[in-house]
Amino acid sequence: MTPRHQIPASNDRDDAGTPCPSPIDLAAWCDGSLEDERSGAIALHLSECARCRVAVGADEATVPQAAASARGAPLV
């Protein structure tokens, strides 16, 4: 489990200035309980935000694949 101090606050932003998802949304993304649209938005955010990737324990290979899938791009 991620220590509480490492979970981004929902007012944090990634390098592109996009607001970070709430800790609740990040947890829901991890367990697959979000709607497809929200899940895709978080996957895209995770592809650009190292802090949130660390918070959810996602590796560098998993997130880009999820983000590409959310964009409708073919996975290679």
What are the domain boundaries of the chain? Answer: 4-71
Q: What is the pLDDT of residue 2?
A: 46
Q: Is the pLDDT of residue 71 over 80?
A: no
Q: What is the mean pLDDT of residues 34-52?
A: 89
pLDDT at residue number 1 = 46
Q: Does 4 have pLDDT greater than 50?
A: no
3-state percent breakdown (helix, strand, coil) of the chain, nearest 5:
55, 5, 40
pLDDT of 7 above 80: no
CA angle 1, 60, 27 (to 5 degrees): 35
Can you tell me the mean pLDDT for 47-63?
78
Indicate whether this model's pTM tops 0.85. Answer: no
